[in-house]
Amino acid sequence: AKKDGRGVSRFYQQQMDLWIKRRLELENGLRDSLYNDELQVYFQPIVEFKSGEIIGAEALLRWNSNEFGSVSPEEFIPVAEESGLIVQIGDFVMKKAFEQFVRWKKESKGSESLQKIAINISVRQFNRGDFIANIKKLIDSSMIAPENVELEIVESIVIDDVKIAKEKMEELRTLGIKLSIDDFGTGYSSLSYLKQLPFTTLKIDKSFVKDINIDAEDDELIETILNIAKRFNLEVVAEGVETYEQALFLAEKDCEFFQGYYCSKAVNGEAFIDLLNNRETC
Ligand code: C2E
Ligand code: CA
Ligand code: CA
Ligand code: CA
């Protein structure tokens, strides 16, 4: 038994070593990625059910590493967050996304319906003292209207200090910037707590959408979320819509907007123009 125990712990030790090694390699790779031109911002359309029009885009980061190939954001975003690199990387995403949005508006005929560019903000970015000043600077230099900017914040982001978070969010709202609760339903936040915060939009997590018409409990959950959003006066975007059946269910329940492969995956800025110009897209 003693021998077995050692064997097991040796196995775990090896796994840990591998994991730490990968992590360090990724961190070093990410540090270089900004200078090697390996990071790209992609865009997924946000679509209005009623009109079928693309009313917005969510910026999603892509890392095509010379060393590791294409690395999933699910893997490298946490590394960026823990190393602090997310601050620089986050600035890069905003700069690229704002500039791209302004260019679409100026140069693309199909962009009249386009109203917003949504940016994912991580805790580490949000909590910085210069977060708002920094966003102001990026908005000014790209000449985007703040009303066209929506920041996506996961619901767990503000748990640390509600009061400070609330003040920050109110200041952002005063500037005209919109705020959405990302991955709604996956965190631990209570509703009374969320109600205090000046969100404009609620994004239903794709884990609920996945089981539409499969799991009756999830169907009910989505209806409940839609009712909550209505009560709180929030716009709703359903995420991860892949099928006609899911779209139909959500539209019938008066959900206004969706994202998902049913319309399009995230694409680069050029390809997004084609989506905008092709009215049959979604
Ligand atoms: P998220 O904010 O929840 O983004 C939605 C994710 O769902 C994206 O994954 C998107 O590609 C994927 N998705 C969209 N439609 C569908 C669908 O129909 N079916 C399925 N199964 N998936 C769909 P992605 O691009 O891999 O990003 C993963 C996560 O990484 C994001 O989740 C977000 O939390 C984070 N992330 C991505 N870019 C950034 C960024 O610039 N900054 C920060 N802080 N986080 C980012
Ligand atoms: Ca998001
Ligand atoms: Ca999400
Ligand atoms: Ca997510």
Paired with 70 in beta bridges are: 64
- Closest residue by Cα to atom 41, ligand 1, is 61
**d(C-alpha 187, C-alpha 193), whole Å:** 12
pLDDT for res 279: 67
Question: Quick check: 150 pLDDT over 70?
Answer: yes
pLDDT tens-place string over residues 224-249? 999 999 999 999 999 999 999 999 99
pLDDT for res 216: 87
* ipTM beyond cut 0.95: yes
**Ligand 1 binding pocket includes 44 (Cβ within 6 Å):** yes
| Confidence bin at 185 (pLDDT 50/70/90) | confident
pLDDT tens-place string over residues 71-114? 999 999 999 999 999 999 999 999 999 999 999 999 988 899 99
**Ligand 1 binding pocket includes 56 (Cβ within 6 Å):** no
- The torsion angle over the Cα atoms of residues 125, 127, 133 and 139, rounded to 10 degrees, is 40
pLDDT for res 1: 46
pTM above 0.90, yes or no: yes
Q: Give the mutation target among 42, 43, 46, 60 for probing the ligand 1 site: most ligand atoms within 8 A of CB.
A: 60
Paired with 58 in beta bridges are: 44, 118
- Name which of 225, 201, 184, 92 is nearest 149 in CA terms: 201
Residues 180, 154 contacting (CB under 8 angstroms): no
pLDDT tens-place string over residues 108-132? 888 999 999 999 999 889 999 999 9
C-alpha 239 – ligand 3 centre gap (Å): 7
**Ligand 1 binding pocket includes 193 (Cβ within 6 Å):** no
